[in-house]
Structure 1
Amino acid sequence: MAGFSLSDLERIIGERALSGDDSSWTAKLYRSGMERAAKKMGEEAVETVIAAVKGDDGALVSESADLLYHWLVVMKVAGIPLSDVMTELERRTAQSGIAEKASRKQD
């Protein structure tokens, strides 16, 4: 899939989320709402960490794909486009990581 991007995946998720197709996992997850979608994203994050710690490259690739997919579903449920995240990342890369972290509000 040369040229496949997160933007492509975001578009596909958006189409499927709103399709109403009962055979679509994306549509079902989207309709389930934020709590379910975020829980699935969290599960995938943990599985990604486990694969990384184990040094299992194949599982790390697979779980990373699952994580990115579920993250984009959460973003769709929240109504936040990928472009907002990319803009934030671009802003952060304009300065050093240490300076960027220091500029964040302290809790």
Structure 2
Amino acid sequence: MREKNVLQELYNVIEDRRDNPIEGSYTNYLLEKGIDKILKKVGEECSEVIIGSKNNNKNEIIYEISDLTYHLLVLMVSQGIKLEDIESELEKRREKIGNKKSGLK
């Protein structure tokens, strides 16, 4: 049985939209508008995650984190960053022990 990787599947769809635009696609709209529009949406979604978290509403938090994740994937595709790049960076960080920055409580 094949393991389902929703993030990879969504990333692949975003890449496909970049390579094979579909009229009326929100993903194509973002990619066509460029980095400023994509970054604006990432910022908006970050704020909405913060608000949802402050509201202590689990469903709202899940919804907003999903929106943020989608927009981050669009950003990644637009910048040529693969999911594997992020996985590699996270693997490096996981191997570190005692890397707490000084001055943090």
Cα distance change, pair 100–76 in 1 and its aligned pair in 2 (3 A): farther
Q: Which residue of 2 aligns with 1:64?
A: 65
Q: Which residue of 2 aligns with 1:50?
A: 51
Query: What is the number of equivalent residue pairs in this alignment?
Result: 100
Normalised to the residue count of structure 1, the TM-score between the two structures is 0.85
With 11-20 and 80-89 compared, the bigger mean Cα shift is at 11-20
Please tell me the root mean square deviation across aligned C-alpha atoms, in Å: 1.7
- Structure 1 runs (4+) greater than 6 angstroms displaced: none
Consecutive unaligned residues of structure 1, counting only runs of 5 or more, are 103-107
Q: Are the counterparts in 2 of residues 18 and 27 from structure 1 also a CA contact under 8 Å?
A: no
In structure 1, C-alpha distance between the alignment counterparts of 2:27 and 2:61, rounded to whole Å: 22
Is residue 31 of structure 2 the alignment partner of residue 33 of structure 1? no
Deviation at 1:57?
A: 0.8
Deviation at 1:4?
A: 3.8
SS at match of 1:99: coil
In structure 1, C-alpha distance between the alignment counterparts of 2:100 and 2:6, rounded to whole Å: 26
Q: Which has the higher contact order (CA 8 A, sep 6+)?
A: 2
Q: Which residue of 2 aligns with 1:81?
A: 82
Normalised to the residue count of structure 2, the TM-score between the two structures is 0.86
Deviation at 1:101?
A: 4.9
In structure 2, C-alpha distance between the alignment counterparts of 1:52 and 1:101, rounded to whole Å: 25
Identity across the alignment (%): 32
The one-letter code sitting in structure 1 at the alignment partner of 2:99 is A
The one-letter code sitting in structure 2 at the alignment partner of 1:53 is K
